Amino acid sequence: MSEFDSLLQGMNLILTPGHIGLMVIGVLLGILVGVLPGLGAPNGVALLLPLTFTMSPVSAIILLSCMYWGALFGGSITSILFNIPGEPSSVATTFDGYPMAREGRAAEALTAAFSSALIGALAGVLLLTFLSTRIAEFAMSFSSPEFFAVYLLAFCTFIGMSKNPPLKTVVAMMIGFAMAAVGMDTVSGNLRLTFDQPILMTGISFEVAVIGLFGIGEILCTVEEGLVFRGEHARITPMVILRTWAKLPRYWWTIVRSTLVGCWMGITPGGPTAASFMSYSLARRFSKNRENFGKGELEGVIAPETADHAAGTSALLPMLTLGIPGSATAAVMLGGLMIWGLHPGPTLFVEQHDFVWGLIASMYLGNVVSLIVVLATVPLFASILRIPFSIIAPIIIMVCAIGAYSVHNSFFDVVLMLGFGALGYLFKKLGYPIAPLVLAAVLGDKAEDAFRQSMLFSDGHIGIFWSNPLVGGLTTAALLMLFWPLISKALQTVLGLRKSQLPKAKSVL
Amino acid sequence: MSHSSDSPALVGTRWVELGLTLFTTLIGVVVMFGSVEQGIGWGDSGPEPGYFPFYIGLLLSAASLGNGVLTLVRWKALSIAFVSRSAFGQVLSVFIPIALFVGAMPLVGIYVSSACFIAWFMWSDKARATPYSKWKIAGISLGAVLASYLIFALWFKVPLDGGPLGEWIAQTVRYFK
């Protein structure tokens, strides 16, 4: 069956009032968590997970993925109007978005941000539509060593490409792996790392960690900085929308470049945050209006937003085809898939044809729905941020606590959440990244299974990871990625390349 | 607690870095210890359960020690304040109530503890020019609790532990049925 037929089938499946209603709810909730401090896409999705257990997987993934799109859009509202990035990936949007709002061009900045975001997202979905089946088919020939090599590549890319110190990334990642190992061992059935505490028998849920690290940790950081929300006002009229849209074609090259950057960073686990920064710095470097960047340049809003959303959507490509999420939110969704009894990976495309194409079709529709909803509700959500912190904070904390409790109906999880909250606060302040921890916590068991299987095949010889060109190539690429900071430095000194300007530009941001 | 505007530093970043490093090293050691208990070698059916986690623990400890060394290398540069006294007071003024809230949950149930938590948080907001009225506090805290009951327990069938009060209400409802 061609991709087009499958897509039509998927469209057929999702074009019901119920599913479209779920999309609107998902988008609204997403914008809400994107706008509120302390809540973001990863823990928004984690909080909603327990509520989806009674739904069909298609409905559940529509709700969760639309929440993701909504959160990505919501993040730009706070960036532009309040100079507060609601999501880490919209930090780059504040550079030019907020100055534009200060000049009274908030509506223009918002419209440009949302519209270019839609273009980026649709490009990501197109990529997903036409590449996913092929990658899945290719990955069908993978066995355990190949899978482990792919996991290794994902984790090593995180370490090598992260803007955080590599050793701190390793520490965060290993804590995630250790968490995943707690509880029942999937192969032998032994209880591991529980130290005879019955409470640890069920293991440590990644949802609880996500809610604590992102939710409570974020609130503590916000309190410390003593944030006061003093935002600019915006009224989006149809006139402004049309005028902004008329300007967009002028920036076609920026949009294309940002889309490419976004798609690439989304598929490789660079993630939306890295994509938006990179796209912004590239736009500034190549723009004619270079001097105006940082002072309210439209191009400086378009570039990060396009890349952010392109990366956000294409992050689902490796998640669906290989079982490797490209961002923290995708990792949480992947965990959800496993809880619903689905097996992310190439077999998903054969066994769960409806689910996959329902999801892909919903991504087209969901992003268009997002644009309409977000344009219509900007004033509403901006007014939510004007609610005093002493009302919004305890409610957010209550929602987090209930969310953590409802994972296993256990009060111990709420205590764990608090512990992770404190850890998240320290991690944020000391520059430890959180996303690798989540990724490892979700993927830990699968990576371990793949590793043990491989070791069984080879009787414990590590050489199996170079036993054929495919797995050898993947493993070597993983090692290259791991040592990339050292390699690029060595290359620079040897060749004396001018390349050093790129990382410099990044660190300036 | 000092409320002076220049607000002296509570602790240097280097000490917090070192503390966290120690903590993560210890986790690594605990993980290795737990793995050794399960066997980290090669059993009859291939790798034993502790095989993989052991190396995770090892890597965790090694990377943590590496971080510790880096902290010592940058000891002078890291003398900057981690957090000022007043900012940390702010953090504690939120963290301690959360801890109490979490501690009270199993005793009085989710609903009562949540309502009290929100009410206390609003009541203790001294930064406002005019404090919230009693009615506003009661309305918002009870409204939030009611909303969470409707959303979680009623619509999505995720039961929340109501504690003694919840049980009492459930019993009363049953009695009148």
8 Å CB contact of A429 and B82: yes
Compute φ and ψ for A183, nearest 5 degrees.
Answer: 105, -155
Chain B residues closer than 8 Å to A430 by CB: 13, 16-17, 20
Chain B residues closer than 8 Å to A388 by CB: 125, 128
Residue from B42, B158, B160, B161 whose CB has the most chain A CBs within 10 Å, to mutate? B158
**Nearest CA of chain A to the CA of B20: how many Å?**
8
8 Å CB contact of A219 and B90: no
Region of poorest pLDDT, from A67-76, A382-391, A400-409: A382-391
8 Å CB contact of A193 and B31: yes
Q: How high is the pLDDT of residue A261?
A: 92
CB atoms within 10 A of CB A196: 7
Chain B residues closer than 8 Å to A226 by CB: 87, 90
8 Å CB contact of B83 and A429: yes
Question: Please, what is the Cα angle at A480 between A474 and A483, to 5 degrees?
Answer: 145
Mark which of B47, B62, B83 sits at the end of a domain. B83
In this structure, is residue B150 part of a structural domain? yes
Q: Could you tell me if B167 and B156 lie in one domain?
A: yes
Q: Could you tell me if B109 and B149 lie in one domain?
A: yes
Q: How high is the pLDDT of residue A507?
A: 43
Q: Could you tell me if B53 and B96 lie in one domain?
A: no
- Mean pLDDT along residues A355-380: 90
For residues A100 and A96, what is the distance between their CA atoms, to the nearest angstrom?
6
8 Å CB contact of B95 and A448: no
Q: Which residues of A22-43 are buried (b: 16+ CB within 10 A; e: fewer)?
A: bbbebbbbbbbbbbbbbbbbbb
- A489 in helix, strand or coil? helix
> pLDDT confidence of B3, banded at 50, 70, 90?
very low
Pull the structure tokens for residue A146: 């190949």
Q: Could you tell me if B91 and B121 lie in one domain?
A: yes
What length does chain B have? 177
pLDDT tens string B5-21: 456 777 888 899 999 99
A234 phi-psi bin (left φ>0, alpha ψ -120 to 50, beta other): beta
Q: Could you tell me if B125 and B153 lie in one domain?
A: yes
User: Is A409's Cβ below 8 Å from some Cβ in B?
Assistant: yes
Q: Are A404 and A58 in contact (CB under 8 A)?
A: no
What is the chain B residue with the closest CA to A173? B60
Q: Could you tell me if B64 and B113 lie in one domain?
A: no
**Nearest CA of chain B to the CA of A327: how many Å?**
22
8 Å CB contact of B31 and A181: yes
Pull the structure tokens for residue A132: 């996913």
Residues 174-193 of A with CB under 8 A from B: 174-175, 177-178, 181, 185, 187-188, 190, 192-193
For residues A477 and A149, what is the distance between their CA atoms, to the nearest angstrom?
9
Option in A175, A181, A397 nearest B53 (CB) = A181
Q: Could you tell me if B129 and B139 lie in one domain?
A: yes
Q: How high is the pLDDT of residue B1?
A: 36
- B158 in helix, strand or coil? coil
Pull the structure tokens for residue B97: 């109530």
- For chain A, the average pLDDT equals 86
Beta strands in A366-427 (DSSP E): none
Q: Could you tell me if B76 and B102 lie in one domain?
A: no
Q: How many domains does the structure of chain B reveal?
A: 2
User: Is A399's Cβ below 8 Å from some Cβ in B?
Assistant: yes
8 Å CB contact of B98 and A411: no
Q: Are A382 and A234 in contact (CB under 8 A)?
A: yes
Which residues have a Cβ under 8 Å from the Cβ of A228 and sit 6 or more positions away?
Answer: none
- B10 in helix, strand or coil? strand
Mark which of B65, B83, B101 sits at the end of a domain. B83
Q: How high is the pLDDT of residue B116?
A: 94
Q: How high is the pLDDT of residue B22?
A: 95
Q: How high is the pLDDT of residue A228?
A: 60
pLDDT tens string B164-175: 887 888 888 888
- A384 or A431: whose pLDDT is higher? A431
- Mean pLDDT along residues A298-307: 93
Q: How high is the pLDDT of residue A275?
A: 87
Beta strands in A398-485 (DSSP E): none
pLDDT tens string A198-242: 888 888 888 899 999 988 988 888 888 775 656 677 777 888 888
Chain A residues closer than 8 Å to B38 by CB: 185, 190, 192
In the A/B pair of chains, how many CB contacts fall below 8 A? Answer: 168
What is the chain B residue with the closest CA to A451? B52
What is the chain B residue with the closest CA to A425? B91
Q: Which residues of B52-83 are buried (b: 16+ CB within 10 A; e: fewer)?
A: bbbbbbbbbbbbbbbbbebbeeeeeebeeebb
Q: Are A156 and A481 in contact (CB under 8 A)?
A: yes
For residues A174 and B59, what is the distance between their CA atoms, to the nearest angstrom?
7
**Nearest CA of chain B to the CA of A390: how many Å?**
5
8 Å CB contact of A418 and B140: no
Q: How high is the pLDDT of residue A224?
A: 82
Q: Could you tell me if B61 and B132 lie in one domain?
A: no
Q: Are A55 and A14 in contact (CB under 8 A)?
A: no
Region of poorest pLDDT, from A20-34, A405-419, B80-94: B80-94
For residues A286 and A302, what is the distance between their CA atoms, to the nearest angstrom?
14
Does residue A384 surpass a pLDDT of 90? no
**Nearest CA of chain A to the CA of B138: how many Å?**
12
Q: Could you tell me if B112 and B45 lie in one domain?
A: no
Q: In 3D, which of A239, A317, A303 has the Cα closest to residue A275?
A: A303
Q: Are A333 and A61 in contact (CB under 8 A)?
A: yes
8 Å CB contact of A223 and B94: yes
Q: Are B2 and B8 in contact (CB under 8 A)?
A: yes
pLDDT tens string A79-97: 888 887 766 778 889 899 9
For residues A271 and A89, what is the distance between their CA atoms, to the nearest angstrom?
9
Residue from A221, A398, A453 whose CB has the most chain B CBs within 10 Å, to mutate? A398
Option in A167, A174, A397 nearest B70 (CB) = A167
Which residues have a Cβ under 8 Å from the Cβ of A44 and sit 6 or more positions away?
Answer: A29, A30, A33, A34, A67, A71
Q: Could you tell me if B89 and B74 lie in one domain?
A: no
Mark which of B44, B61, B83 sits at the end of a domain. B83
Option in A175, A390, A395 nearest B144 (CB) = A395
What is the chain A residue with the closest CA to B52? A448
For residues A497 and A505, what is the distance between their CA atoms, to the nearest angstrom?
15
Residues 256-295 of A with CB under 8 A from B: none
Alpha carbon A255 to its chain centroid, in Å, reads 20
What are the start-end ranges of the H helices in chain B?
Answer: 13-38, 51-73, 85-108, 110-123, 134-148, 163-176
Burial class for A504, CB neighbours closer than 10 Å (0-12, 13-18, 19+): exposed
pLDDT tens string B41-95: 887 777 888 889 999 999 999 999 999 999 999 888 888 888 888 888 889 988 9
In this structure, is residue B3 part of a structural domain? no
pLDDT tens string A107-148: 899 999 999 999 999 999 999 998 988 888 888 888 889 989
Q: How high is the pLDDT of residue B4?
A: 37
CB hemisphere CA count around A381 (13 angstroms) = 31
8 Å CB contact of B47 and A456: yes
Give the domain range for residue B49: 9-83
In this structure, is residue B1 part of a structural domain? no
- A464 in helix, strand or coil? helix
Q: How high is the pLDDT of residue B141?
A: 93
> pLDDT confidence of A397, banded at 50, 70, 90?
very high
Q: How high is the pLDDT of residue B165?
A: 80
Region of poorest pLDDT, from A27-36, A438-447, A493-502: A493-502
- For chain B, the average pLDDT equals 86
Q: In 3D, which of A480, A44, A223, A450 has the Cα closest to residue B90?
A: A223
Sign of CA dihedral A268, A274, A279, A285: negative
> pLDDT confidence of A497, banded at 50, 70, 90?
low
**Nearest CA of chain B to the CA of A384: how many Å?**
15
Q: Could you tell me if B106 and B121 lie in one domain?
A: yes
For residues A38 and A221, what is the distance between their CA atoms, to the nearest angstrom?
9
